[in-house]
Homo-oligomer: A and B are copies of this chain.
Amino acid sequence: MSDATASLSRYWLRDNCPCTECRNPRNGQKLFQVTELPEELAIAATTELHGHLEVLWNDGHRSRYPLPWLAAGKTAEAENAAENAAVNGNEDEDDRRTEAGKRRWQAADFAAGLPEANWAQYLAEPAERAAVLRAVLRLGFAVLREVPTTPRQVLDVVASFGHPRVTNYGELFDVRVEPDPNNLAFTSAAIAPHTDNPYRDPVPTLQVLHCLENAAVGGDSGLVDGFRAAELLREQAPEEFAVLTRTLVPFVFRDRATELRADRPLIELDPLGRIREVRLNNRSIGRLHLPAAELDAFYAAYRTFAAITLRPELRLEFRLGAGDCLIFDNTRLLHARTAFEPGDTAQHREGRGGRHLQGCYADLDSLASTLAVLERRAAALDELQRLFEGEGAAEYLGEQVTQAEHMLQAAALAQRDGAPDHLVAAALLHDVGHFTGALTGRQLMLGQDNHHSEAGADWLAQWFGPEVTEPVRLHVAAKRYLCSVEPAYREQLSEASAYTLRVQGGPLDAEQAAAFAELPGATDAVAVRRWDDRAKAADADTPPFEHFRELLAALMAR
């Protein structure tokens, strides 16, 4: 066993084999069962090659691990920390839903303003949207401003990061004074800091409240960081904290069509003992069935915790006005409101003097996914920019222009010809496989086909749809096709292109050409090919990569 693997767990290593037999290359899902591995798994031999470690296992399987990936515990842990740091700013945390993945706060931390964004900007700018979603994950909330005060608009807000969680209150619910309320929320009474729906399991992990109108006197909003409150309880009264983490509290809600019950602790810990969820809702705590001494201990701890959540320094107070939309983590933040003057019914009917929010529940997992995808796309654009400015600017594959200039020119030509955005992008990115494949463009020029169209298309498929990737995939075949069907085309190929044509297999024969013409992306690929061929002028118009960045971002989100 080599030094590189001596300190590694064998089953772990094998379970992470990245080969296409073990793992679906498209989504990374494993294709074998852990039970299918030999009882006595061992490493028979290892070789280092091309920056990879090749491992031969005692069952004959071969795995290839990139060396940086492999560089064992320390590096792996560091990578993991870096990944998390991107979302959490926390360096030693894996489960982002616990206290370790959160920035705990008190009211004064927002003296300079709330985490907020303008709705139009949030929609238009991925970075702005990412900042809002990151605030919800790290701080527990964010506010969108100038959201149109159209009824049901709250569903559009939810659709921007996830899916509504439908409950007995409906897909969305109206928070306003109701004549026959089945919940205190639908009155004008003050409501102390609480989490919603504790009687649901799974509890809705997000809540979105969109203010359509707030002309009431009173009716201000309050937020308390429940993790911070729990942390204070742990510092101040560790035994009471422990009582609340182990006492199952029956949360109940009942009306004619509903009878919900969940037995959960007020403070839920993860298996490592970290605060992971808070449920606090005085209204819906049912009858506990415990010996009197345990009831006394629970009620003492519960009262201490509830009192902490009422500390003025913990309570962030603000007012939601028409068009404001509050998104918050319902497993962590407690929300509250002050009492208000409801106005009379006539006023309500005319839309004057009332307070009307529309609410919707949703879940943190989709929101975190949306954020991760936004971050991945931003990282991909940065990486593309680095390729264009780094390797791409240095490579001259036998032409008068660098690779980067060549691709930028192709895209500029496409744009000048009025091509749709996805073909501009395909023209821009058609040769990206020279840098992302296992073999580089230099190796192509040395006579070994690097299959850069395939490699590029596969790499791009992480972010772009087939309308971009398929013309890239077929742009070499398009050259071979055109050489076959247009004798004049072959004549005008650059010297380098004529050379690589041979490495790539030469012109298609008649049957191959007919098959190519049948492919769904053939026309697009031929179009890209023609811009490709024209984009080799030393003195041509060459816009910078930034010029295309927004277009690429929009295509990624399509």
User: Interface residues, chain A, CB within 8 Å of chain B?
Assistant: 7-12, 15-16, 24, 26-35, 37, 73, 76-77, 80, 94-97, 163-168, 180-184, 192, 199-203, 205, 245-248, 250, 252-265, 268-272, 282-285, 287-289, 291-293, 295-296, 298-300, 302-303, 306-307, 310, 363-366, 368-369, 372-373, 376, 461-465
Number of copies of this protein chain within its complex: 2
Identity of the chain B residue whose Cβ is nearest the Cβ of A250 in the assembled complex: B94
Contact among B203, B246, B259, B368 for A271, CB-based, below 8 A: B246
Is B292 a contact partner of A7 (Cβ separation < 8 A)? yes
Contact among B33, B250, B268 for A282, CB-based, below 8 A: B33
Is A29 a contact partner of B183 (Cβ separation < 8 A)? yes
Contact among B9, B32, B73, B306 for A33, CB-based, below 8 A: B306
Is A260 a contact partner of B24 (Cβ separation < 8 A)? no
- Known contacts A259-B373, A372-B259; A28/B254 CB under 8 A: yes
Bound CA span A7–B295, Å: 11
Is A271 a contact partner of B248 (Cβ separation < 8 A)? yes
Query: Inside 8 A of A12's CB, which chain B residues have their CB?
Result: 288, 292, 295-296, 298-299
Is A29 a contact partner of B184 (Cβ separation < 8 A)? yes
Contact among B184, B293, B365 for A200, CB-based, below 8 A: B365
Identity of the chain B residue whose Cβ is nearest the Cβ of A292 in the assembled complex: B9
Bound CA span A420–B368, Å: 52
Is A11 a contact partner of B303 (Cβ separation < 8 A)? yes
Query: Inside 8 A of A461's CB, which chain B residues have their CB?
Result: 256
Is A368 a contact partner of B265 (Cβ separation < 8 A)? no
Contact among B96, B201, B254, B288 for A364, CB-based, below 8 A: B201
Given contacts A27-B182, A29-B184, A260-B368, 5 further A-B contacts (CB under 8 A): A9-B296, A35-B307, A246-B271, A256-B461, A260-B366
Is A166 a contact partner of B164 (Cβ separation < 8 A)? yes
Looking at the assembled complex, report how far the CB atom of A14 sits from the nearest CB atom of chain B, in whole angstroms. Answer: 9
Bound CA span A46–B166, Å: 46
Query: Inside 8 A of A310's CB, which chain B residues have their CB?
Result: 35
Contact among B33, B271, B293 for A192, CB-based, below 8 A: B33
Query: Inside 8 A of A295's CB, which chain B residues have their CB?
Result: 9, 11-12
Bound CA span A261–B256, Å: 38
Query: Inside 8 A of A363's CB, which chain B residues have their CB?
Result: 200, 202
Looking at the assembled complex, report how far the CB atom of A36 sits from the nearest CB atom of chain B, in whole angstroms. Answer: 9
Bound CA span A97–B260, Å: 13
Looking at the assembled complex, report how far the CB atom of A120 sits from the nearest CB atom of chain B, in whole angstroms. Answer: 23
Query: Inside 8 A of A201's CB, which chain B residues have their CB?
Result: 97, 205, 364-365
- Known contacts A11-B296, A35-B303, A183-B27; A365/B202 CB under 8 A: yes
Query: Inside 8 A of A303's CB, which chain B residues have their CB?
Result: 11, 34-35, 37
Contact among B29, B163, B291, B293 for A283, CB-based, below 8 A: B29
Bound CA span A265–B98, Å: 14
Is B31 a contact partner of A184 (Cβ separation < 8 A)? yes
Is A258 a contact partner of B183 (Cβ separation < 8 A)? no
Is B163 a contact partner of A34 (Cβ separation < 8 A)? no
Is A80 a contact partner of B164 (Cβ separation < 8 A)? no
